[in-house]
């Protein structure tokens, strides 16, 4: 009987050791027990976790980022989803289809966070964000985005610079001085008028607007007051009735009235031919994002136009770079939320992911960054020095990042619906504004009331 008992004890011990050896990783934290820095929260990780990832970006880069992530976390396999196609809004629409089919990626980029939130696509990652020491390095204005009633449903991934592309060749041709990098918006407007007057017979305009809109009111108030955010958002409400917003809107209308803003007639386009007027040197300034830095080489090589990317001009309080944010989210359908957060961080703002990104850029011979870290990692910024000076003016924006003021377009509930309301057939504000039938002093009150109402009701609907 004793022999039988001893046999059973030894047999059970062998089974237990075998199970531990086959089912668990002995040490997955790489010697660092900080969440998000190579561990799984201090516990022994289980093998063969499978995660999926999707975005609309550089898939070659994604493959390299995923490979380096799996090397750091050998117990996690990541599959790159290529079946969710499109960019921006089309990509988000395809995510909704994937959600309906129950096959959302565990981690994905999203063009509009409120769309994901209202459709129940997003996981609350507050716990993981708050436990991650690296999030303390995220620039404060950016860290405050995508947080609703104290809950975080999206991770800021990159910041793009909104600045002014300047055709240096064109200014030199008309003997107009090149502005300093710390210029003001008054100086910018004066130069745009000067260029238009000098080049009117040559079909030259002063400013190519931002997606068809000269959106001074979105940015100028942020330059005049340190505590004013994008479109006067103060963290709780919009303040369109402020004199700064009204003055900026009137300045925009005045520049349109002076025919300084690029609006080529059919006759002018017939003269210019099929070449994009900006490329061909018929516009002095273009409001645009750093994602279009690729234009600089093409304009010089094909059309002999030397172009810089100046910081957005400042105002009474200084210069506060307007930045445009992208977001990465964790799916509400994921079965592995902690590991999914690690992947989301790696593919977005994480230091190790940025090291991989820069490794690939160096290997490929890339010349410039078109998007930038949202966290102040000294080691990353030291390496990024290689990619900042290729286009003149980029460095001056980067050096002001601690003062940047991000947009609200992709993360603030109610904002998208507001602009749909403004442009609806029932309101037709834009037609009435262009015809001088309604002034900023009047519609500022209407817009302010409506937008704040939409933001409040949208937030309430998410957290009833």
Chunked into runs of 10 residues, the chain (464 residues) has average pLDDT values of 36 36 35 41 65 96 97 97 92 94 96 95 98 98 95 97 98 98 98 98 97 96 98 97 98 97 96 94 98 96 97 98 98 98 98 97 96 97 96 98 96 96 95 95 98 95 76
Among the three residues 276, 304, 322, which one is the final residue of a domain in this structure?
322
Whether residue 113 is contained in a domain is answered as: yes
Tell which residue, 212, 202, 188, 217, has the closest CA to residue 261.
212
Q: In this structure, are 177 and 318 located in the same domain? A: yes
- Determine contact, residues 159/405, Cβ cutoff 8 Å: no
Q: What pLDDT score does 320 carry?
A: 98
Q: In this structure, are 196 and 308 located in the same domain? A: yes
Q: Which tokens is 34 given? A: 């900080």
Whether residue 183 is contained in a domain is answered as: yes
Whether residue 432 is contained in a domain is answered as: no
Q: In this structure, are 137 and 66 located in the same domain? A: yes
Whether residue 111 is contained in a domain is answered as: yes
Q: What pLDDT score does 41 carry?
A: 45
Whether residue 1 is contained in a domain is answered as: no
Name the residue with tokens 């990626």. 105
Q: In this structure, are 150 and 169 located in the same domain? A: no
CA distance linking residue 345 with residue 358, whole number of Å: 16
Q: In this structure, are 90 and 196 located in the same domain? A: no
Among the three residues 292, 322, 352, which one is the final residue of a domain in this structure?
322
Q: What pLDDT score does 420 carry?
A: 96
Q: Which tokens is 366 given? A: 């890339």
Q: In this structure, are 232 and 316 located in the same domain? A: yes
- The count of domains in the chain is 2
E strand or H helix that includes residue 461: helix 440-462
Residue numbers of the domain that contains 204: 161-322
Neighbours of 120 (CB within 10 A): 11
Render the burial of 31-45: b for 16+ CB within 10 Å, e for the rest: eeeebbbbbbeeeeb
Q: In this structure, are 213 and 338 located in the same domain? A: no
Among the three residues 364, 381, 403, which one is the final residue of a domain in this structure?
403
Tell which residue, 212, 211, 159, 218, has the closest CA to residue 185.
218
Q: What pLDDT score does 33 carry?
A: 35
Instruction: Give φ, ψ of 436 to 5 degrees.
Output: 75, 20
- Determine contact, residues 108/53, Cβ cutoff 8 Å: yes
DSSP 32: -
**Partners of 108 in the beta sheet?**
54, 329
Q: Which tokens is 396 given? A: 């001056």
CA distance linking residue 121 with residue 198, whole number of Å: 54
Q: In this structure, are 64 and 85 located in the same domain? A: yes
Which domain CATH number covers 124?
3.40.190.10
The dihedral sign for the CA sequence 119, 125, 127, 129: negative
Whether residue 284 is contained in a domain is answered as: yes
Q: In this structure, are 241 and 100 located in the same domain? A: no
Tell which residue, 160, 162, 250, 170, has the closest CA to residue 211.
162
Q: What pLDDT score does 9 carry?
A: 36
Whether residue 223 is contained in a domain is answered as: yes
CA distance linking residue 38 with residue 69, whole number of Å: 9
Whether residue 408 is contained in a domain is answered as: no
Q: Compute CA distances 133 → 35, 136, 208, 340, whole Å.
A: 8, 6, 42, 17
pTM: 0.89
Q: What pLDDT score does 461 carry?
A: 87
């Amino acid at each position: 009987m004793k022999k039988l008992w001893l046999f059973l004890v030894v047999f059970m011990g062998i089974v237990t050791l075998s199970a531990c050896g086959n089912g668990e990783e002995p040490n997955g934290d790489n010697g660092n027990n900080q969440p998000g820095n190579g561990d799984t929260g201090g516990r022994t990780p289980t093998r063969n976790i499978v995660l999926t990832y999707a975005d609309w970006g550089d898939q070659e880069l994604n493959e390299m980022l995923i490979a380096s992530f799996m090397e750091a976390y050998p117990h996690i396999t990541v599959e790159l989803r290529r079946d969710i196609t499109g960019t921006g809004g089309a990509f988000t629409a395809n995510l909704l289809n994937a959600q309906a089919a129950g096959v959302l990626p565990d981690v994905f980029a999203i063009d509009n966070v409120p769309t994901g939130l209202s459709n129940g696509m997003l996981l609350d990652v507050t716990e993981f964000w708050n436990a991650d020491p690296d999030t303390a390095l995220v620039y404060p204005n950016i860290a405050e985005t995508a947080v609703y009633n104290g809950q975080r449903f999206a991770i800021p991934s990159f910041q793009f610079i909104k600045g002014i592309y300047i055709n240096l060749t064109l200014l030199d041709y008309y003997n107009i001085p090149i502005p300093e990098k710390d210029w003001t918006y008054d100086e910018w407007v004066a130069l745009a008028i000067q260029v238009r007057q000098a080049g009117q017979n040559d079909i030259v305009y002063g400013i190519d607007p931002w997606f068809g809109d000269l959106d001074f009111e979105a940015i100028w108030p942020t330059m005049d007051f340190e505590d004013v955010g994008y479109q006067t958002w103060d963290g709780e409400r919009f303040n369109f009735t402020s004199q700064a917003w009204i003055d900026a809107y009137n300045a925009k209308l005045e520049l349109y009235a002076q025919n300084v803003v690029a609006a080529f007639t059919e006759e002018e386009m017939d003269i210019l031919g099929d070449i994009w007027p900006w490329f061909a040197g018929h516009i002095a300034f273009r409001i645009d994002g750093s994602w279009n830095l690729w234009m600089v080489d093409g304009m010089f090589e094909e059309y002999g136009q030397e172009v810089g990317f100046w910081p957005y001009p400042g105002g009474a309080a200084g210069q506060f770079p307007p930045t445009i944010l992208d977001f990465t989210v964790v799916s509400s359908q994921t079965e592995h939320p902690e590991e999914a957060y690690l992947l989301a961080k790696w593919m977005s703002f994480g230091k190790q992911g940025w090291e991989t990104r820069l490794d690939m850029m160096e290997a490929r011979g890339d010349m410039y960054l078109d998007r930038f870290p949202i966290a102040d990692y000294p080691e990353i910024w030291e390496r990024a020095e290689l990619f900042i000076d290729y286009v003149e003016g980029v460095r001056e924006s980067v050096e002001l990042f601690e003062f940047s003021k991000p947009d609200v377009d992709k993360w603030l509930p109610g904002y998208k619906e507001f602009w749909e309301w403004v442009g609806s057939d029932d309101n037709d504000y834009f037609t009435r504004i262009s015809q001088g039938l309604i002034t900023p002093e009047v519609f500022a009150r209407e817009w302010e009331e409506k937008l704040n109402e939409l933001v409040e009701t949208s937030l309430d609907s998410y957290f009833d």
